[in-house]
Chains A and B, each alone.
Chain A
């Protein structure tokens, strides 16, 4: 009998990084070493601890990383609590990759890119950002605007400081919601910061974060003259199968797990407002 997508592979957690007080980044490889499967930036995987739960997570590492996959996971439920409590060496189950991806090899190619992330919303965009950095010649200007509640809540802060901010080929703008000791950077919400930065409307935008942040960011971008066809986001809904059959992530005639999670805002406009 053929393999069935509902039967998962085994992954081994080889590294756990405490990114923020409630976000950890897990490095996963196959038991034989190397990646369990290949993916494109924006795609997701179903991770599970049998008996605890199974849920969809975006793959935060870039496909250009040939050694392992990474998942940045916020502690907020039964399964994620368990994942946060486990130690290096733990095996998990993993299946995927699921969903479409950011169109890095088609629509985004050659474009000036503006990444806007809030909180854990950086996780899916980090895959794209590092993919773009590793294929730098294929893209125009790259700007990242990233904000969180506080400095401590900036996911992947070390990589941002050590690699992205040290990279002369990308511009990084960080912000936190409230003033904090030891922070001399920008203070304020992401949507406002984007408006202050006045990005050129020639850019193509990739945005991910809490729904409220996305809503105000999109409104701000429109004020600046951006159109919905220029802005991509990635969505999250409850999922069980990952292949458009179990019915959970159905909105209109789309299934977020298979037709998404990446949508352009003009595509979202055609769907019922139910996400």
Chain B
């Protein structure tokens, strides 16, 4: 298996970033990790995961869809799309890597979203296997093995070296492009590391969480559950869960008048917000109960109903650590499945 010594990682980053933009998790001053564009000398974060998910790379928080020029009664439509440049996201965790295949099911379904596809085509996802999952992790619930992540190419850390494995042609092309920096190495120690990580996962508080009682056939039962009232009672409707969620993909389209024309933007939105479904003649989801229910029903029932049983959650645990009232999908699942 090809590897590079961790002490030489920056040589690798320099080589990759010389050819295309390279993004990797970097520690902020406050200790939290976020994706940054690599500049020579930057150190990759050793944090388990970034505060924000990696969905920004393909579905940015805001993006300019189209511009308009208004002159008298006439309107000119200006296509502002540009072909993306190739880029690499390095160090993506298994949960976030899976979120891309979930987002693909939405944005690459007909009619294909060309904005998303453009970035997807030009992005290479290089994942990093987890060695010490945290208490908030429950990716295993959704059939993800964090020690063998998806992505175009996967990296494995044995403590001293990073090993590389291609998952597809794009990943192989990435490995080929850095082959001169890699050497053949003995991956024996990797197995130990993986075993250790799996042993940690067995002991995690959410290790036994199961999707067994969820799926497309549970619509009526769970929609009408009396539990939603208690579960949603304290929800502030702040939308934090949606914004840190790697699979939440609802969006708004808004126009901005620059004074010289109109820019139309697509922005992340949240079904947790009171005006999300508001129309001129009223709002079908009047209280936070309905809005709260929508988010979880979508992830646990509606999405699997339309996607061969695949759930709209990857167990990254971000909502568990970020919700200001400590409500989250795990509590919802546990409450709903008790008869």
**With A10-B75, A252-B219: A247-B271 Cβ-Cβ less than 8 Å:** yes
Q: Does A243 interact with chain B (Cβ within 8 Å)?
A: yes
Does the CB pair A50–B70 fall under 8 Å?
A: yes
Q: What residues on A are CB-neighbors of B5 within 8 Å?
A: none
Q: What residues on A are CB-neighbors of B269 within 8 Å?
A: 246-248
Q: What residues on B are CB-neighbors of A4 within 8 Å?
A: 81, 111, 113-115
State the CA gap A91–B69 with chains docked (Å): 12
State the CA gap A52–B280 with chains docked (Å): 15
Q: Does B262 interact with chain A (Cβ within 8 Å)?
A: yes
Q: Mark B250-291, 1 if CB is under 8 A from A, else 0.
A: 111101010000101010010100001111110011000010
Does the CB pair B262–A50 fall under 8 Å?
A: yes
Q: What residues on B are CB-neighbors of A91 within 8 Å?
A: 73-75
Does the CB pair B216–A253 fall under 8 Å?
A: yes
Does the CB pair B253–A93 fall under 8 Å?
A: no
The minimal Cβ–Cβ distance linking B311 to chain A, given in whole angstroms, is: 13
**With A76-B280, A92-B75: A250-B66 Cβ-Cβ less than 8 Å:** no
Q: Does B79 interact with chain A (Cβ within 8 Å)?
A: yes
Within 8 A of A (CB), among B60-112: 65-66, 68, 70, 73-75, 77, 79, 81, 83, 106-107, 109, 111-112
Q: What residues on B are CB-neighbors of A93 within 8 Å?
A: 68, 75, 77
Within 8 A of B (CB), among A4-34: 4-10
Within 8 A of B (CB), among A67-89: 76-77, 80, 87, 89
Residue pairs across A and B with CB atoms within 8 Å: the count is: 117
Contact with A237, one of B66, B109, B279, B306 (Cβ below 8 angstroms): B279
**With A50-B255, A92-B75, A240-B252: A248-B68 Cβ-Cβ less than 8 Å:** no
Q: Does A272 interact with chain B (Cβ within 8 Å)?
A: yes
**With A7-B79, A50-B264, A245-B249: A250-B298 Cβ-Cβ less than 8 Å:** yes
Q: What residues on A are CB-neighbors of B305 within 8 Å?
A: 252-253
Q: Does B302 interact with chain A (Cβ within 8 Å)?
A: yes
Q: Does B328 interact with chain A (Cβ within 8 Å)?
A: no
Contact with A253, one of B249, B281, B306 (Cβ below 8 angstroms): B306
**With A93-B68, A247-B250: A51-B255 Cβ-Cβ less than 8 Å:** yes
Q: Does B294 interact with chain A (Cβ within 8 Å)?
A: yes
Q: Does A275 interact with chain B (Cβ within 8 Å)?
A: yes
**With A51-B257, A54-B253, A252-B302: A77-B284 Cβ-Cβ less than 8 Å:** no
State the CA gap A10–B106 with chains docked (Å): 27
Q: Does B45 interact with chain A (Cβ within 8 Å)?
A: no
Q: Which A residue sits closest to B69, measured CB to CB? A: A50
Q: Does B118 interact with chain A (Cβ within 8 Å)?
A: yes
Q: What residues on B are CB-neighbors of A90 within 8 Å?
A: 73
Q: Which residue of B75, B253, B264 has the most chain A CB atoms within 10 A of its CB atom?
A: B75
Does the CB pair A272–B219 fall under 8 Å?
A: yes
Q: What residues on A are CB-neighbors of B281 within 8 Å?
A: 76
The interface on chain B, measured as residues whose beta carbon lies within 8 A of the other chain's beta carbons, has a size of 52
Q: Does B142 interact with chain A (Cβ within 8 Å)?
A: no
Q: Does B296 interact with chain A (Cβ within 8 Å)?
A: no
State the CA gap A52–B75 with chains docked (Å): 13
State the CA gap A243–B306 with chains docked (Å): 15
**With A247-B251, A252-B219: A237-B302 Cβ-Cβ less than 8 Å:** no
Q: Which residue of B109, B220, B264, B297 has the most chain A CB atoms within 10 A of its CB atom?
A: B264
Q: Which residue of B70, B250, B266, B285 has the most chain A CB atoms within 10 A of its CB atom?
A: B250
State the CA gap A244–B110 with chains docked (Å): 10
State the CA gap A50–B257 with chains docked (Å): 9
**With A10-B77, A50-B70, A76-B281: A1-B83 Cβ-Cβ less than 8 Å:** yes
Does the CB pair B114–A2 fall under 8 Å?
A: yes
Q: Does A228 interact with chain B (Cβ within 8 Å)?
A: no
Q: Does B223 interact with chain A (Cβ within 8 Å)?
A: yes
Does the CB pair A246–B251 fall under 8 Å?
A: yes
Q: Does A274 interact with chain B (Cβ within 8 Å)?
A: yes
State the CA gap A138–B32 with chains docked (Å): 67
State the CA gap A253–B306 with chains docked (Å): 6
Contact with B77, one of A7, A52, A54 (Cβ below 8 angstroms): A7
Q: What residues on A are CB-neighbors of B79 within 8 Å?
A: 1, 7
State the CA gap A89–B68 with chains docked (Å): 18
The minimal Cβ–Cβ distance linking B267 to chain A, given in whole angstroms, is: 10
Q: Which B residue sits closest to A273, measured CB to CB? A: B223
Contact with A246, one of B81, B252, B255, B306 (Cβ below 8 angstroms): B252
Q: Which 8 A-B pairs have the closest CB atoms?
A: A247-B250, A50-B68, A253-B305, A77-B280, A50-B262, A4-B114, A76-B280, A51-B262
**Sampled A-B contacts (20; CB under 8 Å):** A2-B112, A4-B81, A6-B266, A7-B79, A8-B66, A8-B77, A50-B255, A52-B255, A76-B281, A89-B73, A237-B284, A238-B278, A240-B251, A241-B251, A246-B250, A252-B219, A253-B305, A253-B306, A272-B220, A272-B223
Interface residues of B (CB under 8 A from A): 65-66, 68, 70, 73-75, 77, 79, 81, 83, 106-107, 109, 111-115, 118, 216, 219-220, 223, 249-253, 255, 257, 262, 264, 266, 269, 271, 276-281, 284-285, 290, 294, 297-298, 301-302, 305-306
